Amino acid sequence: MSSPTRPGDSATLPGNGLERRIGPLQATAINMTQMCGIGPFVTIPAMVATMGGPQAMFGWIIGAIIALADGLVWAELGAALPGAGGTYIYLREAFQYRTGRLMPFLFAWSAVLFIPLIMSTGIIGLVQYLGYLVPGVTDADGVTPLGKAIGVGLVVLIVLALFRRIGQIGKLTTALFLVMLFAVFAVIIAAFTHFDAHQAFAFTPGAFGSSGAFWSGLGAGLVIAVYDYLGYNTSAYLGGEVRDPGRTLPRSIIFSILGIMTLYFLLQVGVLGSQPLESIKSATSVASSVLEQAWGSVAAKIVTVFIVIAAIGSVFAGLLGGSRVPFEAARDKVFLPVFGKLHPKLHLPTAGVLAMGLITAIGSLFTLTDVINAAVTVLVIIQSLAQVAAIVVLRRRQPHLKRPYRQVLYPVPTIIALLGWVYVYVSASWLSIWLSIAWIVLGVVAFLIYASKEKVWPFGPKEIREAFAAQPVSGVES
């Protein structure tokens, strides 16, 4: 593993071939575009149904608190360890002392699954909205075979769009970000032109009691809310391509969470105050219904097109960042070598883009709820909880690590993130929980096979490489 050009420098590790072209505005745009996309437009009905009424609006706030606490974990780790792959680097640096390459291997193993699964939910959602525009894409039973074929075709187009230089991608993502903002604000404004405050805040009687609808539905509601906030970390996955990462990454993460929280809350309240509760619960394109009621079908169709484009932008941004995870792992010889190769002209990880695009296409063929649960459970167990441990371990193991940003009120946000993620995990469906555990067990078996072949821990010495430390330590431990 390479060491930085200068100890503690935030420059790209030499030889990885990536270019630092993403600035603060582009980094925030990438995060917010990936966060929003189609998510709230398709999950608001599920959120209202799950939490039993207008009290669903508080689910978005609690979800934002968890996301912000976790975002502060990402902010410190991303600023201190800015490289391609995000969590992969954080786990590699933190857990190398006791378990060698196990944790970074498991993350790369899992990320190749959960990142594209999250992206496939964007495809499922945008196809639902296409049903408002194109007859035959959806029916009473959901997405039709035609709709699924269109979804797969869109994944192919998104993957092709990713084959360009990172500087061009940054500009394209900023444009998609503006489209997303237009779509969200259009729906919010339309909702508040026909807003009934009494209807919006008509909480279900007894909802906040000890056995009320709010508390009984909070766990499942938070699974949805957390899913909708995911993406605030996308810029950290691109840490090797961000300018001045010590300042850019923390700001892009925090600003994107606060901005999206505000938009989601306004969107939820607006929909509750403009649409009957029962119609919200059963809607497949609730934003289009809001727009049609306010401005007519022509305006609704025009804005729905922008919603679909915003969803495409979300998937685009997610695959852009996610493809860097197996790239960094392969560069460390912890994953298949093919993932460590860059396109000779465009300097992008070709295998990562193609593999994640394929899994996204496959995931788009399943139902939205099933994919959300599967993606969130795998993500929580090997990324979110592991990073909470990583920030603690690194503060103890690498006290001289240069930290341009240190978590405010540490360890309070870290503890809040830990409790929040545990609650979200146990609130998911039992099938998803067992599948996530099975995937991790399978990953451990795969790692043991790899470790035996490579003669590394537990079949050989542990390699200690403090690649970002101010006083790097290199060597092996038996």
- Residue 309's Cβ-side half-sphere holds a number of Cα atoms within 13 Å equal to 19
Task: Confirm if 111 and 383 have CB atoms less than 8 A apart.
Answer: yes
Give backbone dihedrals phi and psi of 200, rounded to 5 degrees, phi first. Answer: -65, -35
405 within a domain of the structure (yes/no): yes
∠ at Cα 119 (323, 104), nearest 5°? 40
Mean pLDDT of the chain: 88
HSE of 436 in the Cβ direction (CA atoms, 13 Å)? 26
- Look at residue 441 and tell me whether its pLDDT is greater than 50: yes
- The residue-averaged pLDDT of 344-368 equals 90
The model's pLDDT over 8-29, given as tens digits with 9 standing for 90+, comes to 333 344 345 667 888 898 899 8
| Residue 360 pLDDT level (bands cut at 50, 70, 90) | very high
Q: Residues 6 or more apart from 44 whose CB is under 8 A from it?
A: 56, 267, 268, 271, 280, 286
Q: Give this prediction's pTM.
A: 0.86
Residue range 281-308: average pLDDT? Answer: 92
| Chain segment 41-81, per-residue pLDDT in tens | 888 998 999 998 999 999 999 999 999 999 999 999 999 99
Give the confidence band of 173 by pLDDT, cuts at 50, 70, 90.
confident
**Domain count of the fold of the chain:** 1
Q: What is the mean pLDDT of residues 404-423?
A: 96
Give me the pLDDT at residue 462, please.
86
pLDDT number for residue 170: 66
Q: Is residue 470 part of a domain?
A: no
pLDDT by residue (tens digit) across 206-264? 999 988 899 999 999 999 999 999 989 989 988 888 989 999 999 999 999 999 999 99
Does residue 16 belong to any structural domain of this protein? no
Question: Across residues 272-286, what is the average pLDDT?
Answer: 90
- Is 458's pLDDT higher than 70? yes
Compute the average pLDDT of residues 367-383. Answer: 90
Establish if 265 belongs to a structural domain: yes
Residue 448 lies in a domain: no
pLDDT band, very low/low/confident/very high, at 317 (cuts 50, 70, 90): confident
Is 90 exceeded by the pLDDT of residue 430?
Answer: yes
Distance of CA 180 to the CA centre of its chain: 16
Share of the chain above pLDDT 90, in %: 61
Section 147-165 average pLDDT: 91
Q: Does 384 score more than 60 pLDDT?
A: yes
Is 452 contained in some domain? no
Q: Which domain holds residue 35?
A: 24-392+401-442
- Residue 471's pLDDT band (boundaries 50, 70, 90)? low
In whole angstroms, what is the distance from residue 44 CA to residue 39 CA?
8
Residue 3 lies in a domain: no
Question: Which CATH number covers residue 78?
Answer: 1.20.1740.10
Name the nearest CA neighbour of 347 among 89, 160, 162.
162
